[in-house]
Each structure stands twice: as structure tokens, then as C-alpha cells.
Structure 1
């Protein structure tokens, strides 16, 4: 999978293209919080490019504003990292530095990843935007997640009521790609409510998987028979719950 293939899958209008290099120093000035952040930027970032600016008059999707957010533009950027760079922190710094909700395509040792995060106005600093909720970052499989994912990623397939809804559509699409790592098949969520239910099930699934692995480790070390029996019962219960969550992720239940 390449950044170029993902850009083509987005199907962005030519009028939205910017394709300008962003100096690393701007990321350091607007995103870095510590001296360590600055070093990571200088040592880890190969190139940043502002690929596209999605504005209402260019894509026919209205702006959005409420008490906390003002979505007047969406940004599409690419980030190329050097070998050995720490992916997570650098991606977070870039999302914090850009004043618009951003769809970021990052090329790193891990492959190509997609990341998104909603923004809201800071309560403490005027005219400052901060991340609103968790940053979502998912590595795209080598096959691009399949034609179903690439098709679902297209701009034209996202909600068109306003820029906030459009960006949420991309978030839900990338979340569905993350869910496909558990189910083995990409399947877009049918509604916003369906997406919320699947996202919650995914978090529960991964927490439960971690718990079951810990129980298995304990059971392998346990020497008391009664305790082994108890641990094995807990493992079986966890596996049953995991199967139920897998059905939610696969869309068999909501």
C-alpha cells in the first residue's frame, strides 16, 4: 500500500489540491510541547505535505459550527517518517499543530497509516484548538484493506450534510478498517449509531482479549488444582463473551 494509492482512492476534486511542502519548523513551533518533541521532529520527520484543502465552495459541503467547534475547512496531509521514528507521538503532534480537522496519511516503518481526530475550541486559551476525544490511527493492510475499503474511503461516499458529518464519516470508515482486523472482512457501519456500537464493542473486545491472555498466563503457572479450575472457567467465560462481541463487530447484531 502506498500513500499515492490512498490519495487516488479519496477521489478529491482537482480544485482542492494544494500539494505544498510544510517546513518541519512549523510543526515544531505549533505542535511541540517539550524539548523531546522537538528532537523527535528533527530526527524523525522526513517530509510533510499539505495535499488538499476541502472548503465548502470547493466540494459543495456546508461548514459546521456549534458552541465548541467551527469546521470551515478540512485538511488532507501526508507525513513521511525516517527509519526508526516514533510513529504515535509524531502523528499526534501534527494533528495538534494543524488548525483544521485533518485526514493524515503517514508512511513509516509500520507501513502506511491513516489518522484522524476531531478538534474543539480550548476552554483555557482563546482561538486555540485542541483534540476532541481520542486520536484514531490505523495501519492500512498491504492490500489496502481491499476494494471495499478503498471504495468506502472516497469523498463522495461520505455524509454531505456538513463538514463535521463528512469528517465523522471518514472516522467511522477508518474505524471499520480497524474492526476488520478482528473480523477478517471490511464492512462499513450502516448508521452513526451502528458505528458507535461497533466501536464500543471493539474496545471491549481488545480489553477482553488482554484479560484472557493474562488468565492463560496465570493458569499455566498455577499449581493448585482448584485455582486452575477457576481460572479455566474464567477463560471459557471470556471466550464466550468474545464470540458475542465478534458478532457485533461483524454486523450480526447492533
Structure 2
């Protein structure tokens, strides 16, 4: 599938989903009641309120199965993938609160007993979220998230000098999402391919260019480097905040030297992307 020219301003949840190039036979297009999400995933009153207050609507777009996608199921000791779900949620009253968006996404992933490609429309921002699942160790027939969410963020009106905010990067990403470009050995491999594509989008914020991973090994190295970059960014931000509040000159100097050391490491890790 050839991806037409598109700008970040024009990007919509429909266009993100269309870029997946899903088979028509997999279409579901059914509304998911928020009550079901809350019952299946929200253990606390705070989480139930989060889903109720901040999800306007959630639609089950498609269900990819061996029969309609031509991709085999996957089974091992940790997980059984009989189906992949594609969902789209319209959010409300969240603004730029990324932490709450991430929590809403996590709750949706937890509520669905299949691996989910989740598109969230937050108005100024669009999000694509993925997370592997596995069998729970202590509860029979229950699934849990297997690792952290992989989340791509798209600023509809990002700054003109943003490295990610280029039509070329967006077009390359949308082209790479195409289901026909993913590994089709099994549903796990298909889902992993989409997860790696979103990981490659995350790397654009560091490298300034979108490059799809050529091998599973390259994708794994990229994910590890991204995790290290994020950890270093958090540590650097914490040290800068502490240094700004520090009144003793010797401690300020020590903090600034550590910041420089971490920044050099961060630059080196960034070059691995």
C-alpha cells in the first residue's frame, strides 16, 4: 500500500488505523461499554473514575485471527495468542496529561484478554499503544501485561523545529505500519513487528529521522537503547532540579559534573539508535 502525503496536522485516528492495512474480514466496528472495561481492569475506585471520566467512546475496530488474517496462532509456556485486537478510544478532559493517558491505556490493555493495538485520540495528541500479555502465574486463565507499554505520541500541532514533526518521518512511519510489511510467521511476530515500528517512531525524537528496524536483533537493541535514554533523561532532569535548589557551591559543582557525565553517556547511547 502506498501512503499518500500527509502532515502531522492532518493526522487522525482513522488515518493511523487505515495505515495498518487490516483485512476487511477482520472488521468488528463495535462500541465497547466502559462498564466492561472497569469491571475487567479497574481494581480501584480511582481507576474506575479515570475510565468513566476520560473515555468518551471506545470502538473495537478489528479482530485479527488466523482465519481472517492468514497468520498462524502462537503458543508457548508464557502466552497464547489466538487473536489480536485493534481498538480506538476517544479521550476527553485530559489535555496534555501524558501520565493519565498512559494509565488509561494500561487499563484498557489489562481489560482485554488479547494483545491490543490501541489508538487514543486526545485532541491535540494522538497515541498508539501496544503491550505484550502473558498468563498470570497465580491465577488460572488470567492474563497480565508482560512489560511496559510501548507508546508512540503524535503532536498534531508540534513546533516547527521538532525533529519528529516532518512530513517525511510521518509518511515513512505510516508506510512501515502496513500489515503486509510485518512478519507473518505468527500473531506474536505480527504484533512484535508493530511494537518495533512504534519503537522506531520513539527513536525519531532522538535521531531526527524515522528508520524501521531491519532485523529483530536491531529492534531489540533499539528498545534497550531507548530505555537507557529515558532513564538517563530522568536522572539528568532530577539532578538539574536538585542543583538549582542547592545553596552550597561544592555540591552544585559536583551535581553539574555528574550531569555532564550523564549527558555524554546519553549522547553515546543516542548514537546507537
TM-score by length of 1: 0.90
Q: Is the 8 A contact 2:197 2:213 kept in 1?
A: yes
Give the C-alpha shift of residue 221 in structure 1: 5.6
Q: Which runs of 5+ in 2 are unaligned?
A: 1-10, 157-164
Report which stretch shifted further, 212-221 or 140-149: 212-221
Give the C-alpha shift of residue 226 in structure 1: 5.4
Q: Distance in 1 between matches of 2:42 and 2:142?
A: 15
- Structure with the bigger RCO (C-alpha within 8 Å, sep 6+) is 2
Give per-residue Cα distances to partners, 1:208-250, cap 9 Å, x unaligned.
Answer: 223334444555566666555544443332232222111101x
Once superposed, what is the RMSD of the aligned Cα atoms? 2.0
Residue 159 (structure 2) aligns with = none
Q: Distance in 2 between matches of 1:27 and 1:243?
A: 41
Residue 37 (structure 2) aligns with = 27
**CA distance 1:156–1:141, change in 2 (3 Å):** farther
Give the C-alpha shift of residue 164 in structure 1: 0.4
Instruction: Report the 3-state secondary structure (helix = DSSP H, G, I; strand = E; otherwise coil) of the residue aligned with 1:133.
Output: coil
Q: Is the 8 A contact 2:124 2:155 kept in 1?
A: no
Instruction: Report the 3-state secondary structure (helix = DSSP H, G, I; strand = E; otherwise coil) of the residue aligned with 1:140.
Output: strand
Give per-residue Cα distances to partners, 1:102-155, cap 9 Å, x unaligned.
Answer: 000001145110001111111222111111111222212436751110011111
Q: Distance in 1 between matches of 2:34 and 2:239?
A: 46
Instruction: Report the 3-state secondary structure (helix = DSSP H, G, I; strand = E; otherwise coil) of the residue aligned with 1:134.
Output: coil
Q: Is the 8 A contact 1:73 1:163 kept in 2?
A: yes
Q: Which runs of 5+ in 1 are unaligned?
A: 250-254
Q: Distance in 2 between matches of 1:236 and 1:117?
A: 34
TM-score by length of 2: 0.84
Decide which of 116, 119, 128 is 1:114's aligned counterpart.
Answer: 128
Residue 235 (structure 1) aligns with = 259
Question: Is 1:152 the equivalent of 2:162?
Answer: no
Residue 233 (structure 2) aligns with = 209
Give per-residue Cα distances to partners, 1:143-177, cap 9 Å, x unaligned.
Answer: 67511100111111111111001101111111111
Q: Is the 8 A contact 1:83 1:109 kept in 2?
A: no
Residue 252 (structure 1) aligns with = none
